[in-house]
């Protein structure tokens, strides 16, 4: 599965904007009809106007359905994010409403066109077209709440992080203000991306570093692990559930400096919770802000300082070794997703020989 480009989700027009776009395009199409006989000209115009309006609305609604990511194609992490942000059930239901409206619009247009062909007077042509417009407008009115919901959801979803599931990912966790974002900025090859989780006003930092042409993604967890588990609301719990599906390794930062906002005992309790949450992945415990630590302070794990660079390269190499993304277990087998020809070697040779003859 490729990473989701949430920013590519298209802008959703307001219901009246969709109708204005459709009926305006239809009027332009009517002006293109040429026939010296008024009777036939008007019938063709009304027929084309109904068809054009239907085409615009159907294409617009179906484009939303087609260009919004399919939940079935998302990773567990991305689905959990969507569920926390806007709700997966609402997501499916509201996109389904647009698909229903597109089908109804086509049906109404087909009925109106058949009626226009049966009529024998110019006034009847106009009435049939207006009646079709009214029914189509009613359909759009019925799904107006769903269209408005999608417009608001789009603004939320565009802020979600895009994580590539095919590249190694490192989650950085810890109490507030222990230096998570600073660590990611210090290790990143370029300027870290800043996004927002839907369930917090705080920002999410995404960074990466490159080793042997492979990108290692780094993600921090702001606002998700700030409180004991029993005090967290359902949205925060969904956010934590999302993290259960992300990352090949976790770096847990502990701030043992005198200026720490969170007592070390509480940070240790948080670490115990994290160990239970992601017990199947390796965790590296690191004392951050080593430049502020007294040399006599004792603690578990290595020490780093994003300010002075102390321990950063050692941490980077430890992560690369632990994740082992480039480890070759069987030198005779091709990597996963490697393009290959499944034909037996002998058949390939025969095929080549036949081409030469």
Is the model's pLDDT at 230 over the cut of 80?
Answer: no
Comparing 74-78, 195-199, 230-234, the range with the smallest average pLDDT is 195-199
The pLDDT value given to residue 209: 92
Please state, rounded to an integer, the average pLDDT across all residues of the chain.
83
Is 6-157 CATH 1.20.120.1190? Answer: yes
pLDDT category of residue 236 using cuts at 50, 70 and 90: low
Is the model's pLDDT at 334 over the cut of 60?
Answer: no
In 3D space, the residue among 223, 222, 195, 224 whose CA is nearest the CA of residue 207 turns out to be 195
CA-CA distance, 259 to 254, in Å (whole number)? 12
Domain 169-323, second-level architecture: 3-Layer(aba) Sandwich (3.40)
What lies within 8 Å, CB to CB, of 353 at 6+ separation is none
pLDDT digits (tens, 9 = 90+) for 140-189: 999 999 999 999 999 989 888 788 888 899 998 888 888 888 888 888 88
The pLDDT value given to residue 238: 63
Q: Count CA atoms within 13 Å of residue 192 on its CB side.
A: 24
The pLDDT value given to residue 356: 42
More confident residue, 227 or 150: 150
The pLDDT value given to residue 332: 66
Helices marked H in the chain = 15-30, 38-67, 76-85, 88-118, 122-142, 144-157, 180-187, 234-243, 264-277, 312-323, 345-356
Comparing 45-54, 220-229, 238-247, the range with the smallest average pLDDT is 220-229
pLDDT digits (tens, 9 = 90+) for 280-323: 889 999 998 776 655 444 444 578 888 888 889 999 999 999 99
Whether 253 and 174 have beta carbons less than 8 Å apart is answered as: yes
The pLDDT value given to residue 229: 67
The pLDDT value given to residue 221: 76
Instruction: Return the domain boundaries, the chain.
Output: 6-157, 169-323
Residue 91: both structure tokens together: 């997501």
Is the model's pLDDT at 42 over the cut of 50?
Answer: yes
Token pair 């600073």 in the structure block, residue: 182
CA-CA distance, 336 to 343, in Å (whole number)? 18
Provide the percentage of residues in the chain whose pLDDT is more than 70: 79
The pLDDT value given to residue 355: 41
Residue 155: both structure tokens together: 């603004």
CA dihedral 83, 89, 94, 95 (to 10 degrees): 80
The pLDDT value given to residue 199: 59
More confident residue, 236 or 270: 270
CA-CA distance, 176 to 25, in Å (whole number)? 54
| pTM (predicted TM-score) | 0.74
Average pLDDT, stretch 113-118?
Answer: 94
């Amino acid at each position: 599965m490729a990473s989701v480009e949430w920013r590519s989700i298209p802008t959703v027009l307001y219901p009246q904007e969709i109708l204005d776009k459709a009926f305006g395009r239809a009027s332009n199409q009517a002006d293109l009809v040429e026939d010296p006989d008024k009777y036939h000209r008007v019938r063709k115009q009304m027929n084309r106007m109904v068809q054009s309006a239907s085409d615009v609305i159907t294409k617009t609604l179906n484009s939303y359905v087609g260009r919004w990511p399919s939940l079935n194609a998302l990773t567990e992490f991305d689905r959990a994010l969507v569920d926390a942000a806007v709700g997966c059930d609402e997501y499916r239901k509201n996109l389904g409403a647009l698909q229903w409206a597109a089908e109804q619009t086509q049906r109404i247009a087909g009925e109106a066109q058949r009626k226009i062909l049966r009529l024998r007077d110019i006034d009847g042509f106009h009435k049939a077209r207006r009646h079709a417009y009214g029914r189509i407008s009613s359909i759009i009115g019925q799904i107006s709440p769903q269209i408005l919901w999608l417009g608001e959801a789009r603004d939320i979803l565009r802020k979600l992080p895009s994580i590539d599931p095919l590249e190694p990912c490192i989650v950085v966790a810890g109490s507030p203000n222990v230096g998570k974002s600073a660590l990611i900025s210090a290790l990143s090859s370029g300027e870290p991306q800043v996004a927002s989780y839907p369930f917090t006003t705080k920002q999410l930092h995404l960074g990466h570093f490159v080793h042997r042409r492979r990108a290692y993604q780094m993600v921090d967890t702001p606002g998700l692990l700030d409180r004991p588990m029993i005090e967290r609301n359902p949205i925060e719990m969904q956010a934590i559930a999302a993290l259960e599906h992300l990352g090949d390794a976790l770096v847990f930062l502990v701030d043992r400096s005198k200026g720490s906002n969170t007592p070390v005992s509480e940070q240790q309790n948080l670490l115990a919770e994290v160990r239970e949450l992601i017990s199947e992945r390796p965790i590296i415990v690191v004392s951050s802000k080593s430049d502020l630590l007294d040399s006599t302070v004792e603690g578990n794990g290595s020490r780093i300082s994003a300010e002075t660079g102390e321990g950063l390269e050692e941490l980077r190499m430890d992560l690369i070794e632990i994740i082992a993304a480039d480890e070759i277990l069987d030198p005779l087998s091709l990597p996963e997703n490697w393009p290959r020809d499944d034909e037996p070697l002998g058949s390939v040779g025969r095929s080549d020989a036949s081409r030469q003859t």
